[in-house]
């Protein structure tokens, strides 16, 4: 596919402006139109895009472009800086209680986002760090959800606690924590059922768990391919349940992943890890700067800026 990168487009917009000293409002507007289109193509929320463009515009107007090679690079630099700023500048880890104290983690999200798989992935990660995780099967709805968790738990060599489908998730969660304490586990990860952010009963189920079990980390699992709805979803989970961190899954696909930016903007919570495949080892660190280039569709952005 002949894909003209955003970089090329911006260079084109500014081709005739070399002689000018400072970026005018008009120059900037023309360039930012391209940026706006790129962000929308990447599925960044319409509202987030508007706000982002406004911020960049304010910063870009009046910038001295003779300092750099081209005005295009000046704009790219500002765009990238703002983007990385929005994405969070550092990588983050799940914070754990020291020693034998039990950390309780609850995985939440829409149906099919990747919660159960990611639960097992995290367990493997923590196990290799010397922790002893216990997985709790709190999805009593999806056919074979418990079995799925058990198979994955076994693959990771970690215990899975389940009480079948006949108990309320809050009671399963409570019993799991007791089980962990008795068996020397120091992390409990609750795998909950997928649910819609607008399903009141199901959202209340999570609230009930939070009220009765001391959850230290609530992790929202989001499919990286999510479109404009990401803001509604993340906003509602944050508002109703409270979110401490986000995991983006299925980034091994070719999506630009603009949802990452929307979710950051809406929740302000860090993205902890990214899912990079179906294998239980496919969980990677999240790098805000790489995500920024991916969303903008410019892998070469960093080298370009270095030159500027």
Partner 1 sequence: TKTRNNIVSGIDSIFNGFSSIDDEFYDEIEEILIMGDLGINATTSIIEDLKEKVKANKIKDPAECKELLIESIKDEMNVGETAYEFEHRKSVILVIGVNGVGKTTSVGKLAGKLKDQGKKVVLAAADTFRAAAGEQLTQWANRAGVDIIGGQEGADPAAVVYDAVAASKARNADVLLCDTAGRLHNKKNLMEELKKIDRVLEREYPDAYRETLVVLDGTTGQNALAQAKQFKEAANITGIILTKLDGTAKGGIAIAIHSELGIPVKYIGVGETIDDLQKFNANDFVNALFDVKHDEKEDDE
Position 227 contacts partner 1 (CB under 8 A)? yes
**CB contact burial 290-300 (16+ within 10 A = b; e otherwise):** bbbbbbbbbee
Contacts of 169 (CB under 8 A, 6+ apart): 138, 139, 140, 190, 192, 193, 205, 208, 209
Residue 216 Cβ, how far from partner 1 at the closest point, in Å?
27
Residues 191-230 that bind ligand GTP (CB under 6 A): 193-194, 196, 221
Residues 228-257 that bind ligand GTP (CB under 6 A): 249-250, 252
Options 7, 103, 116, 162; binder of Mg ion; rule CB under 5 A: 116
Q: 188 - beta bridge partners?
A: 104, 134
Contacts of 157 (CB under 8 A, 6+ apart): 127
Options 7, 73, 117, 217; binder of ligand GTP; rule CB under 6 A: 117
DSSP conformational letter for 165: B
Residues 111-150 that bind partner 1 (CB under 8 A): 111-114, 141-145, 147-148, 150
Contacts of 76 (CB under 8 A, 6+ apart): 6, 7, 10, 298, 301, 304, 305, 308
Residue 275 Cβ, how far from ligand GTP at the closest point, in Å?
2
Contacts with partner 1, residue ranges (CB under 8 A) = 37, 40-43, 45-47, 50, 110-114, 141-145, 147-148, 150-152, 155, 196-198, 223, 225-229, 232-233, 250, 252-256, 258-259, 278
Contacts with ligand GTP, residue ranges (CB under 6 A) = 109, 111-117, 139, 142, 145, 193-194, 196, 221, 249-250, 252, 275-278, 282
């Amino acid at each position: 596919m002949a894909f003209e990168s955003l970089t090329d487009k911006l260079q084109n917009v500014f081709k005739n402006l070399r002689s000018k000293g400072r970026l005018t409002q008009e120059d900037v507007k023309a360039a930012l139109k391209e940026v706006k289109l790129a962000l929308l193509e990447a599925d960044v929320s319409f509202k987030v895009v508007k706000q982002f463009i406004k911020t960049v515009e304010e910063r870009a107007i009046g910038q001295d472009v003779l300092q750099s090679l081209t005005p295009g690079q000046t704009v790219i630099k500002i765009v990238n800086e703002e983007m990385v700023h929005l994405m969070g500048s550092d990588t983050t880890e799940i914070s754990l209680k020291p020693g034998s104290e039990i950390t309780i983690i609850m995985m939440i999200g829409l149906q099919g986002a990747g919660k159960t798989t990611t639960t097992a992935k995290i367990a493997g990660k923590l196990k290799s760090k010397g922790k002893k995780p216990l997985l709790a099967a709190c999805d009593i709805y999806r056919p074979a959800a418990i079995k799925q968790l058990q198979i994955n738990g076994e693959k990771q060599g970690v215990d899975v606690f389940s009480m079948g489908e006949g108990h309320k998730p809050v009671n399963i969660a409570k019993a799991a924590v007791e089980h962990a304490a008795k068996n020397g586990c120091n992390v409990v990860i609750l795998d909950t059922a997928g649910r819609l952010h607008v399903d009141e009963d199901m959202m209340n189920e999570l609230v009930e768990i939070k009220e009765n079990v001391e959850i230290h980390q609530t992790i929202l699992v989001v499919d990286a391919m999510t479109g404009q709805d990401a803001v509604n979803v993340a906003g509602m989970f944050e508002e109703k349940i409270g979110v401490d961190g986000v995991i983006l899954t299925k980034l091994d696909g070719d999506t630009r992943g603009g949802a990452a930016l929307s979710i950051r903007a809406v929740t302000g919570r860090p993205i902890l890890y990214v899912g990079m495949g179906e294998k239980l080892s496919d969980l990677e660190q999240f790098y805000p700067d790489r995500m920024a280039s991916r969303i903008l569709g410019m892998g070469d952005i960093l080298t370009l800026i270095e030159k500027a």
